[in-house]
Amino acid sequence: MKKLTKNLDIMLKTGEALMGSNSVMKRLLTGKAKLVLFTENCPDDIKERVVYYSRLAKTPCHEIKASSLELGSMCKTQYPVSVMAIINQGDSEITELFK
């Protein structure tokens, strides 16, 4: 979890990410997402759609062992984040963590 937090912090400073299921699914449809992360408590209907679109786009999609509040905190937001897409990893090695 420490590596994920560290890499998310670096990626948010030097790269680009989107949060929220609608934004993530739009980017999956355009093929611009490099990695999709969703939380343990992500609603099942959203999880199923995100996994489905990730498979269509051939984009890696992973469930992380954190709640939406924890992911929101890691992303330095004041609200819960259930789904996020990495568009540009910047100087981080976040995509390497999930290979």
CA distance 86 to 95: 9
For the chain, what is the domain count? 1
Give the closest residue to 85 by CA, choosing from 29, 40, 3, 25: 25
Q: Binning pLDDT at 50, 70 and 90, where does residue 99 land?
A: confident
Domain that residue 86 falls in: 2-97
* pTM confidence score: 0.91
Q: In sequence order, what are the residues at sequence separation of 6 or more whose Cβ sits closer than 8 angstroms to the Cβ of residue 81?
A: 19, 20, 39, 68, 71, 72, 75
Q: What is the pLDDT of residue 37?
A: 96
- What does the pLDDT look like over 17-65, one tens digit per residue? 999 999 999 999 999 999 999 999 999 999 999 999 999 999 999 999 9
The answer on pLDDT for 2 being more than 90 is no
Tell me the pLDDT of the chain averaged across its residues: 94
Residue 94 is predicted with a pLDDT of 92
CATH of the domain at 38: 3.30.1330.30
Maximum Cα–Cα distance for the chain, whole Å? 33
